[in-house]
Every structure is written in C-alpha cells, then in structure tokens.
Chain A
Amino acid sequence: MKILLADDDKNFGIVLKNELEEDKYTVDLVSDGVEAVLHFIDNTYDFVLLDIKLPKLDGTNVLQVTKKLNPEIPAITFSGHAGNIEMAESIKAGAIKCLTKPFEIAHLKEDFKRYISRVG
C-alpha cells in the first residue's frame, strides 16, 4: 500500500513515515500542500494522510483537490492546533476521520488494517 503523507512538522513526519514503513507500507513524505497535490498528480496512492495546517495550501484544500482527481481515495486528516470547525470541514471534504495530535500511531495502523479488510 502506497501512502502520501503531508506534514510540515519535520520530526513528526519522519517518525510517522518510519513507523508506517516498519509495517511495510510505502510512504512519500511532503511538507506543504502544493507539494502534496503535485505528488498526488504524479503518483498513484492508496491512502492519503494530511495535516490540516499545511503551508501554501491547507490540508482540507489538498483533500478537496485529491477527491476531485480520485473520488475513491481514502484519507485521514490530523492536526495539533486546528479548531473544531476546520476539523469538521476536513470530514465534510471526505476524510474518513480527523485525529487530534497527539494520537497513537498504533491506532492509525489499526485504521489502515480495518480499511484494507473492508475494501478487500
């Protein structure tokens, strides 16, 4: 499974990418919203993980673009300081769920497994 991960928090991005790669997922890490969209256009992903507060283009806008390009793409958003309205907007844009940092990476992995078993 190939995942697009967008987070401008460098260390969090590195740790999350490492931990997902430990479970044999392939992860592309980008640090802003424009880069995320460009990666999504140039590659085929199975899952998208987006921080809501991204520089250049916020995570919800990235999600709206990716959903236009591929309405079936599953996505989870997360944030350390987004408000309730922004979090709700990302769900409205099509995110499966929106997590508040800090969250357990193990729970995120469980979400992946649940999603894979559901779509087969």
Chain B
Amino acid sequence: MGKMASGIAHEINNPLATIGGCAEGLLNRINKGQVDHELLNYFKIRDEEVTRCKKITTNMLSFVRRGTYEKSYVNAHEILDKTLELISLQGRLKGVSILRNYGEGVPLIQASEGDLKQVFLAVVINSLDSMDDNGTLTLETGIENNMVFIKIIDTGSGIPSELKNQRRGKRIENPFG
C-alpha cells in the first residue's frame, strides 16, 4: 500500500506541474496586458487538470472507505477495471498491453469490494513487478464447475524454481496454505 500511495502521490505531480505552468502563463499574460486565445485555453486546461487530481484522490479514497468492505453482490469486471484504473494513475501501465478476456454471463459475486480490490491490486502489482512494467497482462473471467473464476496472467519471469521448492514458495501454489 505504501508503494502504491507513493506512486499516486507522484502521479499528482503531473497535473500539478500543468496547473503551475498555467498559473505562470496566466500571470505573464496579465502582466503584459496580453489577452489572447491561450489565456482562455489555460483556464480550460487548469480545470481539466484539477478534475484529474480529483479523480486520483477519489480513486485513492475508494480503497479506504469503510462501506466498500461490507459484503454485497458485486461485479468482478467492474472491480478489475477500477483496480487497473488506480494502477494506471501511477503511470505503471504505459508499457503494458492489457487484454481483457471477460467471460459472458458472469454473475455478480457475493464479496467485499474493498477486499477484492486489495487482492487484485496485490496480484496485478506483483505481475507488473515481474514484467518490469513491460509485457502483456491478461485478465480472464468465466464460469467453471458452477463457480466464477478470475485469472490474472502476466508474461513475467514467474516464481524462481529455487523459491518454489522452499516451504514459503510451496504455500504460494496452495490456495489454503
């Protein structure tokens, strides 16, 4: 979570840089008594960037809001998309191709949206780490044996064989370990 918060904080620097640049440009034009097309354009750009900052903070807050941790019927595809949106705010998806193979007719599942986001976030960040933020990330959902499955597949290096043989490594492949 700390790494994610740091990534998002840095991502806010981009819109802040633009807002700062607009303020400098507006001040220069006011000082010169220069009223031109750019003056109005800078107000428009400033509004867009303020909205961008708000989107970043809203997304961040949605991860810590208590209400989202209560169990309800939730759409797994929407939660996967929201998770990716949050990660993209950190600028980590620029070199990654995203493939969404969402199954048709996947029903709502009874779960806590907040918990699911945390799990998806941890797995996707792990995938990105293993691919050095370059490669293909596939999100796949469907129904098998009357259960919904969600697969997050990356083109990264995988778990090193020496780690797989350790006790901790074995637990990774055991869903109840």
Residues of A with Cβ closer than 8 Å to B? 8-9, 11-12, 14-16, 18-19, 22, 53, 55-56, 80-81, 100-106
Q: List, in ascending order, chain B residues with CB within 8 A of A14's CB.
A: 45
Whether B13 pairs with A15 at a CB distance below 8 angstroms is no
CA–CA, A106 and B23, complex, Å: 11
Whether B21 pairs with A81 at a CB distance below 8 angstroms is no
Q: Identify the closest chain B residue to A51 (Cβ).
A: B14
Residues of B with Cβ closer than 8 Å to A? 7, 10-11, 13-22, 24-25, 28, 38, 42, 45, 48-49, 90-91, 94-95
Interface of chain B, helix or strand or loop or mixed? Answer: helix
Whether A19 pairs with B17 at a CB distance below 8 angstroms is no
Whether A11 pairs with B49 at a CB distance below 8 angstroms is yes
* Contact (A53, B18) CB under 8 Å given A14-B45, A80-B10, A100-B13: no
* Contact (A18, B25) CB under 8 Å given A55-B94, A81-B90: yes
Q: List, in ascending order, chain A residues with CB within 8 A of B22's CB.
A: 15
Q: List, in ascending order, chain A residues with CB within 8 A of B10's CB.
A: 80-81
* Contact (A104, B24) CB under 8 Å given A8-B94, A11-B45, A18-B38: yes
Whether B14 pairs with A15 at a CB distance below 8 angstroms is no
Q: List, in ascending order, chain A residues with CB within 8 A of B15's CB.
A: 11
Whether A12 pairs with B94 at a CB distance below 8 angstroms is no
CA–CA, A19 and B68, complex, Å: 44
Whether B14 pairs with A55 at a CB distance below 8 angstroms is no
Whether B18 pairs with A81 at a CB distance below 8 angstroms is no
B53 to chain A, nearest CB (A): 12
Contacting A19 at CB < 8 Å: which of B7, B25, B48, B90?
Answer: B25
20 contacts between A and B (CB under 8 A): A8-B94, A11-B15, A12-B14, A14-B45, A15-B21, A15-B25, A15-B42, A15-B45, A16-B21, A19-B28, A22-B25, A22-B28, A53-B91, A55-B95, A56-B95, A81-B7, A100-B13, A101-B14, A101-B16, A104-B20
Whether B24 pairs with A81 at a CB distance below 8 angstroms is no
Determine which residue in A9, A81, A104, A105 has the highest number of CB atoms from chain B within 10 A of its CB, and name it: A81
Whether A12 pairs with B24 at a CB distance below 8 angstroms is no
Contacting A9 at CB < 8 Å: which of B18, B28, B38, B90?
Answer: B18
B69 to chain A, nearest CB (A): 28
Determine which residue in A8, A12, A16, A19 has the highest number of CB atoms from chain B within 10 A of its CB, and name it: A12
